[in-house]
Structure 1
Amino acid sequence: MTNIYSFLKNVWQDLIETQKENNFFIPFLLLLVTIVLPLGINNITLGILFLFLLLNRKKVTFKRSFFLAIPILLFIWMALSYFWAIDKERTLKAIPKEITLLLIPFLFSFIPVFNQKTKEKILKYYSFSIVAFTLVFMMRALIRYAITGDSNAFFYHGEYHDDYGLVPKLLNAIHVSVYVAVAFFYFLTKEVKSKADYSIVLFLFLFLLLLSSKNIIVVFLLLTFFYTSFYSKAVHRVRLRNIAIMVFAIGFILSFSRIKERFLVEIQSNTERGVRNDMTTIHTEQVHVVSIYEAWNNEKFSNGDFFPGAAFRVYQARMFFEFLQEEPIFWKGFGLNASLKKLLDKEKQYDLYPGYGTLNFHNQYIQNFAELGVIGFILLIVMLGVSLYKALQVKDFMHIAFTILMISLFLTESFLWRQRGVVFFTAFYSFFAVSNSRN
Structure 2
Amino acid sequence: MSVSYFWSIDKHETLKAIPKGITLLLLPLVFMKVQISKTEKEKLLKYYSFSMVLIVVFFLLRAVIRYLVSQDTRNFFYHGESDDDYGLVPNLLNAIHVSVFVALAFFYFFTKEMKSKIDIALSLLLAGFIILLSSKNIILVVVVLILVYFLYYSKASHKMRLRNLIIFGGIIVIGLSLGKIKQRFQEEFRNNAPNSISPNVSATLENGVHNISIYEAWNNEKFSPNDYFPGTALRVYQARMFLELLKEESIFFKGFGLNASEIKLLEKEKKYNLHNGYGRFNFHNQYIQNFAEIGVVGFLLLVIMLFQTLKKAINNKDFMHFSFAVLMISLFLTESFLCRQRGVVFFTLLFCIFNSISPKESINIEAKL
TM-score normalised by L of structure 2: 0.89
Runs (5+) with no aligned partner, structure 1: 1-77, 268-282
**Which residue is 1:101 aligned to?**
24
Counterparts of 1:291 and 1:246, CA distance in 2: 29
Residues 178-215 of structure 1 deviation map (CA, whole Å, 9 limit, x = unaligned): 00000011011101001111111111111111111111
Deviation at 1:367, TM superposition (A): 0.3
Deviation at 1:162, TM superposition (A): 2.5
**Which residue is 1:204 aligned to?**
126
Judging changes above 3 Å, is the alpha-carbon distance between structure 1 residues 171 and 244 closer, same or farther for their aligned structure 2 residues? farther
**Which residue is 1:357 aligned to?**
279
Judging changes above 3 Å, is the alpha-carbon distance between structure 1 residues 119 and 251 closer, same or farther for their aligned structure 2 residues? farther
Paired AA for residue 212 in structure 1: S
Query: Which 4+ residue blocks in structure 1 deviate beyond 6 angstroms?
Result: none
The one of 286, 290, 309 equivalent to 1:368 is 290
1:332 matched to 2:254:
yes
**Which residue is 1:319 aligned to?**
241
Counterparts of 1:366 and 1:235, CA distance in 2: 37
Deviation at 1:390, TM superposition (A): 0.9
Judging changes above 3 Å, is the alpha-carbon distance between structure 1 residues 329 and 238 closer, same or farther for their aligned structure 2 residues? same
**Which residue is 2:13 aligned to?**
90
Aligned CA RMSD, in angstroms, stands at 2.3
Paired AA for residue 105 in structure 1: P
The one of 219, 225, 229 equivalent to 2:147 is 225
CA contact (8 A) 1:340 1:360 kept: yes
Deviation at 1:114, TM superposition (A): 2.0
**Which residue is 1:133 aligned to?**
55
Report 1:211-250 matches (<5 A).
Answer: 211-234=133-156, 238=160, 241=164, 245=168, 248=171
Report 1:36-435 matches (<5 A).
Answer: 78-111=1-34, 113-234=35-156, 238=160, 241=164, 245=168, 248=171, 252=175, 256-266=178-188, 284-435=206-357
Judging changes above 3 Å, is the alpha-carbon distance between structure 1 residues 165 and 237 closer, same or farther for their aligned structure 2 residues? farther
Paired AA for residue 274 in structure 2: L
CA contact (8 A) 1:330 1:369 kept: yes
Counterparts of 2:126 and 2:13, CA distance in 1: 38
Structure 1 window deviating more from structure 2 (142-151 vs 319-328): it is 142-151
Deviation at 1:119, TM superposition (A): 1.4
Aligned sequence identity (%) = 60
Residues 239-290 of structure 1 deviation map (CA, whole Å, 9 limit, x = unaligned): 994997499479728x7121122112149xxxxxxxxxxxxxxx94120000
CA contact (8 A) 2:52 2:101 kept: yes
Judging changes above 3 Å, is the alpha-carbon distance between structure 1 residues 438 and 427 closer, same or farther for their aligned structure 2 residues? farther
User: How many pairs does the alignment contain?
Assistant: 345
Structure 1 window deviating more from structure 2 (229-238 vs 114-123): it is 229-238
CA contact (8 A) 2:110 2:123 kept: yes
Paired AA for residue 319 in structure 1: M
Counterparts of 1:345 and 1:99, CA distance in 2: 29
Deviation at 1:117, TM superposition (A): 1.8
CA contact (8 A) 1:228 1:237 kept: no
Counterparts of 1:100 and 1:152, CA distance in 2: 35
SS of the residue 1:265 aligns to: helix
Counterparts of 1:237 and 1:138, CA distance in 2: 38
SS of the residue 2:8 aligns to: coil
CA contact (8 A) 2:218 2:236 kept: yes
